[in-house]
Amino acid sequence: MVSLQRALLAGTKVSALLVLALAGQGGGAAGGTGAYPLDWGRAGETLQYLSCGCADRCWVAEVKHLRSRKTLASLRCDCERLFARVGNSGPEVEHSPSCSTIDDADNKPRAIREALEQMPGR
């Protein structure tokens, strides 16, 4: 019984953290997978990808500083439109009215990486 209570408490904490993370990105979709790293060639930085639903058409990709974990840049697809942000607190702007250039690419992780590398201010 104690194990079940611990599991439920842990699940509640994880769910709350995910909701807060998605709320900060303007998301709210359910489903998806956990975050995982994508190839990123810049020393001291990491690129993380999180799918949030819509058959992998809702997602967030964030470049973070390895030590501080501060977000340096992000791309977000809300199942339709593509949004971008440079820095942790910069304004999020519509990067494209469609995510199809990335979502329909032969190599989606590479398309995300290239889009982030080409962002002004990066």
In a domain, 13, yes or no: no
Domain with 61, as residue range(s), is: 29-117
Q: Where are the alpha helices (DSSP H) in the chain?
A: 2-24, 100-103, 108-117
**53 backbone dihedrals φ, ψ, rounded to 5°:** 135, -160
pTM of the model: 0.71
Look at residue 6 and tell me if it is in a domain: no
pLDDT tens digits, one per residue of 36-56: 999 999 999 999 999 998 988
Structural domains counted in the chain: 1
Tell me phi and psi for residue 81, to 5 degrees: -100, 155
- Structural domain contains residue 10: no
Pick from 75, 78, 76: nearest CA to 29: 78
Tell me if 21 is assigned to some domain: no
Is 19 domain-assigned? no
pLDDT at residue 31, as a whole number: 56
Give me the pLDDT at residue 97, please: 97
What percent of the chain clears pLDDT 90, i.e. is strictly above it?
A: 61
Q: Let me know if residue 20 belongs to a domain.
A: no
Assigned domain for 110 exists: yes
Establish if 122 belongs to a structural domain. Answer: no
DSSP 42-64: STTEEEEEEEEETTTTEEEEEEE
